[in-house]
A and B are shown apart, each in its own frame.
Chain A
Amino acid sequence: NAGVMQNPRHLVRRRGQEARLRCSPMKGHSHVYWYRQLPEEGLKFMVYLQKENIIDESGMPKERFSAEFPKEGPSILRIQQVVRGDSAAYFCASSPTSPGGTTYYEQYFGPGTRLTVT
């Protein structure tokens, strides 16, 4: 059973370009979370998605950032018109569907995408 996969592992973009980060959850998982780790800072929650639904985007910057998790294919975190301050490691995590009653399932993290904006 493959773990959470993210690609690319490293991404370099010039200021003003778009960055697309992909996350494939573990098999059987339908919940995806995106987190950002800025240099020398802790991890911060960005967005929580289920298939075809954004459940909680309270941690997403209001502009330039968007996320989706289509019925087929990976979850995508999209950053438009990147700026130097977007340079960070972006991690996704996945958890399984709750069969009923349980409020929280363990999250499994991917290896991260390290975005560098030049």
Chain B
Amino acid sequence: KNEVEQSPQNLTAQEGEFITINCSYSVGISALHWLQQHPGGGIVSLFMLSSGKKKHGRLIATINIQEKHSSLHITASHPRDSAVYICAVYHSGGGADGLTFGKGTHLIIQP
């Protein structure tokens, strides 16, 4: 079982729909990233969270430390939001010093 699980793996929606991507993790963490990657493109960090909720434009990220769960929401989705969204965690208490990644959610927003 992966330490970081994302759902759904693939999501196709119509422009304007409210999108939710989920991330569950099984280890203690210091922080959680939500990342965006366009096909063949680089990686952009959307949010870093250690508690609560953050909002940036149409994007909202929440985290529940007790339940080891985070969600990324996109309001009023647009075709330019089509990308792979990746959840990544930074372990607390030792282990590898880098981030551990989920496999990503492939999002397609159709016009």
Contact = CB atoms under 8 A, between A and B. Distances in A.
B11 interface: no
Contacts of A59: 96, 98
A55 B40 CA distance: 30
Contacts of B30: 103-104
Contacts of B97: 33, 45, 48, 55-56
Interface of B: 30-31, 33, 35, 40-45, 48, 50, 86, 88, 90, 92, 96-104
Interface string A47-69: 11000000110110000000000
Interface of A: 33, 35, 41-48, 55-56, 58-59, 91, 93, 103-104, 106-112, 114
Contact of B48 (A45, A103, A106): A106
20 contacts: A33-B97, A35-B98, A43-B86, A45-B96, A45-B98, A48-B96, A48-B98, A58-B96, A59-B96, A91-B43, A93-B99, A103-B30, A103-B92, A104-B30, A104-B90, A106-B33, A107-B45, A109-B45, A110-B42, A112-B42
